[in-house]
Amino acid sequence: MLTKPFQQLENWISYFRRADIPVFRRTIDAIERLRENEDDVSPSDFVSIVQGDPLMTLKVLVFAAERRSSRVVTDSETVTSSLVLMGVSPFFRKFTGMTCVEDLLKDDPMALHGLEEVVTRAFRAAHFALGFAVHRMDHDAEVIREAAFLHDFVEMLLWCHAPLLAHEIRHRLLADPAARSSVVQRAVLNVDPLDLQHGLMEAWRLPELLAQITDHRQFGHPRVRNVVLSVNLARHTQRGWDNPALPDDYRAIGELLNVSAEHAHRKALELDA
């Protein structure tokens, strides 16, 4: 476990490139049940399992990138297409003996709770993102959903591999609800978490479109705004619908969807129902 932050972005990237990506026990159990009937399994059987765990989603995308040294990455590549291209036998060979999140954090139940909070937020962000993308009739709605689902993967990896630092970030945010999470994360980690996120995506050679639409520096692009606003909405409503930042969220979402802020508010409530 990492107990002190690195001073340089390159060190953070190097550390997480070498670190194992653990997955939840439910994911491991579901894969093992399929393994018992391997001859009757198709790649589509893995999709719901992988999409039910953002860490497993990340793990699959990283492995798929490693295997495609001579294959051109398409803009529409998702975890679903990665699984189809990978095939059943390579999947079972690679994803065996995986580290279990619950075992990794068995001595720190609060870290497991912190991770589960981030994962719950990721599911909600993905749901908002898909709903907004469908409203916009974006043909890459699935990639947008996946980008929102994985947006906070650095925070997830921190809970797994540097829980002391993750605890410190959470403590500071709870002590000052008005503080911006990115500012607090930067203060604790010595690096901008978004720089770390994109550094890792580039190092892992994740699909280009996925990297592009999680890049806040391209906020003017509708797909980027779709992801960022969905992530913000999920974060701001994590503990209820009374966060003072929400009126600004509704106005921005309304502009994205070409509707009023009031309509955007209703749309968000409907998606979260």
Band the pLDDT of 273: cuts 50, 70, 90: confident
pTM for the complete prediction? 0.93
Please say if the pLDDT value at position 74 is more than 60: no
Q: How far apart are CA 41 and CA 117, in angstroms?
A: 32
Across 113-141, average pLDDT: 97
Band the pLDDT of 214: cuts 50, 70, 90: confident
Q: At what angle do helices 141-150 and 109-135 cross, to 10 degrees?
A: 160
Give the 3-state secondary structure of residue 23. Answer: strand
Across 45-71, average pLDDT: 88
Please say if the pLDDT value at position 69 is more than 80: no
- The pLDDT, as a whole number, for residue 71 is 52
Task: State the DSSP code for 72.
Answer: P
Across 167-188, average pLDDT: 91
Task: State the DSSP code for 138.
Answer: -
User: What is the identity of the amino acid at 185?
Assistant: Q
Please say if the pLDDT value at position 259 is more than 90: yes
CA 8 to chain centre: 23
- Of the ranges 67-76, 107-116, 178-187, 195-204, which one carries the lowest mean pLDDT score? 67-76
Give DSSP secondary structure letters for 84-106.
HHH-HHHHHHHSSSPPBHHHHTT
CATH of 107-272, one of 2.40.70.10, 1.10.3210.10, 1.20.120.420, 1.10.630.10: 1.10.3210.10
Band the pLDDT of 75: cuts 50, 70, 90: very low
Residues of the chain with CATH 1.10.3210.10: 107-272
Across 194-213, average pLDDT: 90
Give DSSP secondary structure letters for 163-177.
HHHHHHHHHHHHH-T
Give the 3-state secondary structure of residue 221. Answer: coil
> What is the token pair recorded at 258?
């070409």
Strand partners, 100: 23
Name the residue with higher pLDDT: 75 or 90: 90
